[in-house]
Amino acid sequence: MIIDTSVLFDAVVDGTRSSASRSLLFATEHISSPDIIRVEMAGALTKAVRRRDLSETYARAAYELAERSLPKIENSAPLMPRAFQLSLELSHPCSDCVFLALAESRDTLLATSDARFAHKLAGTGYARLIHLIEP
């Protein structure tokens, strides 16, 4: 299974999907993510601080926990041509499509709590690859 940044974020920041995300992250074997998860995670935490959803202290602790909780990290460079193609096809941000490209290449599920992305894929051939984590 592939997890995206939304799952890691929900696992380390308390919220409505935290329990489900933690269960998935810590109880599922053979989880991986593309290397961009590190940059995206740092960006999500700093954005939450800027919006005043999290304190800097909480964000720093969440970042450290995320680093310790990272799944197997995969190189995103070989995924980029396919991610670019998916981004154009789906009219969706390329960074999300990197995770989808990895799931597609492994023929495995992509766990996400990004409902917008999951709904965009509904009714497409990619829907079979999505596992939406809901509250």
For the chain, what are the domain ranges?
Answer: 2-132
What span, in angstroms and rounded, lies between the C-alpha atoms of 122 and 10? 22
- What pLDDT does 38 receive? 97
Give, as one character, the DSSP assignment of residue 93.
-
- pTM (whole model) above 0.75: yes
**Protein fold of 2-132:** Rossmann fold (3.40.50)
- What pLDDT does 135 receive? 81
Give all strands of the β-sheet with 130-132 in edge-to-edge order. 72-74, 32-34, 2-3, 110-112, 130-132
Tens-level pLDDT at each residue, the chain (135 residues): 999 999 999 999 999 999 999 999 888 889 999 999 999 999 999 999 999 999 999 999 999 999 999 989 999 999 999 999 999 999 999 999 999 999 999 999 999 999 999 999 999 999 999 999 988
- What pLDDT does 27 receive? 87
Q: Are 39 and 8 in contact (CB under 8 A)?
A: no
How many residues belong to the chain? 135
What span, in angstroms and rounded, lies between the C-alpha atoms of 74 and 33? 6
